[in-house]
Structure 1
Amino acid sequence: MILFLDYDGVLHPDEVYTRGNRPYLAVAGELFMWAYVVEDALADLPDIRIVISSSWARFLGFERAKAALPPALGQRVIGATWHTGMKVSDHGPPLRYPETVWDRMTRYQQIARWAKRAGLSDWLAIDDNDEGWPDTHRHHLVHTLSATGLGEETAAASLRAALASRYPRKDDDDAPASGLINGG
């Protein structure tokens, strides 16, 4: 399974800006302060891979965006929804980061495009941006609030529930009752 992971508004509040090409959090807290929620949720699910669906890949580059994650998450990353091969638009004034096709897509469109190209049916996204998500694909989204991300227990519980519905875990209660060994 693939987990599409946004950073801002998910792993820390969305108030992230760059200074000298380095991201910083402009509110109380620290970058990736809620990453442990994803780490914990994936701890017993080693086959889940991550695709970065954050603008960090666009503005910092894939390798820097991947390296910014805690190691337990970074080692799971296999790609990003944005890549350098996306064509630059010729419209509008020159920008520090010229507009691309990706910039004109909703986050859902970015993710759906990647999932379709990869032939995925089993995927999940964690994002604070739910613009354009059709009702038919809402089951693929764990929606967070921009200011509280996965730091809000409701969002963290939604992530755990979404993973549990895809990967049910055996409880000890499901194990057969032990009986007498060799008849007594």
Structure 2
Amino acid sequence: MILFLDFDGVLHPDSAYLVKGRPTLKAAGELFMWAPLLTDLLADFPAVQIVLSTSWARELSFSRACRWLPDGLRARVIGATWHSSMKHQADGFSLSQTWWDTANRYQQIKRFADRAGLVNWVAVDDQPEGWSADDRDKLVHTNGDTGLSDSRVLASLAARLGGKP
């Protein structure tokens, strides 16, 4: 099972901004304050692997985005919907804007899932816009202000991962 994981609005409130190149939360709490809830939930699902579906991978780089995660989550990360090669044309020149920049979160995830031949996946995200009715059951939608701190969201994620609701 693959879990596509957004950061903002999921692991902390959707109020994170880059300030002098460093992510800063401009809301009550701290960055990744709800990550332990996901770590605890995933303890019951050892086969779940994570693909980052967060803009942090583009803005900071995949490796820097990963370093923000606690060890228990970082060890499960196998990739991201964004890869730095996406910003280069075939001739090696950099693009100022890429397909990924204009795609909604669902399109980014779906493209990754299709290319990897994934069938068994779920996404946890606070951006429900653009999701196909065919894959809507794969989205665990969070409120950007409460993320995974909402027990109903955690129960929904557990159910989608194969646990009890």
TM-score (norm 1): 0.82
Runs of 4+ in 1 over 6 A off after TM superposition: none
Deviates further, 35-44 or 141-150: 35-44
Q: Over aligned residues, Cα RMSD in angstroms? A: 1.6
Measured after TM superposition, the shift of residue 87 of structure 1 is 3.5
Whole-Å separation in 2 of the counterparts to 1:60 and 1:87: 14
Show the counterpart of 1:174: none
Q: How far off is 1:88 after superposition?
A: 5.8
The one-letter amino acid paired with 1:141 is: L
Distance 1:61 1:79 in 2: 12
**Residues 10, 144 of structure 2: 8 Å contact kept:** yes
Which shows bigger deviation, 58-67 or 41-50? 41-50
> Which residue number corresponds to residue 126 of structure 2?
128
For 1:20 and 1:148, how far apart are their aligned partners in 2? 26
> What does residue 32 of structure 2 align with?
32
**Does the 8 Å CA contact 2:127/2:141 hold for their aligned counterparts?**
yes
Q: Paired residue for 1:139?
A: 137
5 Å-filtered alignment, 1:1-184, equals: 1-87=1-87, 98-164=96-162
Between Structure 1 and Structure 2, whose CA radius of gyration is higher? 1
Aligned residues: 159
TM-score of the pair, normalised by structure 2: 0.91
* Residue deviations 1:1-56 (CA, integer Å, cap 9, x gap): 11000000000000000111110100100001111121111102221110000000
Percent of pairs with identical residues = 55
Unaligned runs of 5+ in 1: 90-96, 169-184
1:63-122: CA deviations, max 9, x gaps? 000111011000100100001111369xxxxxxx93221011010000000000100000
Question: For 1:78 and 1:118, how far apart are their aligned partners in 2?
Answer: 12
For residues 140 and 69 of structure 1, the distance between their equivalents in structure 2, rounded to whole angstroms, comes to: 23
In structure 2, stretches of 5+ residues that fail to align are 90-94
CA distance in 2, matches of 1:119, 1:127: 21
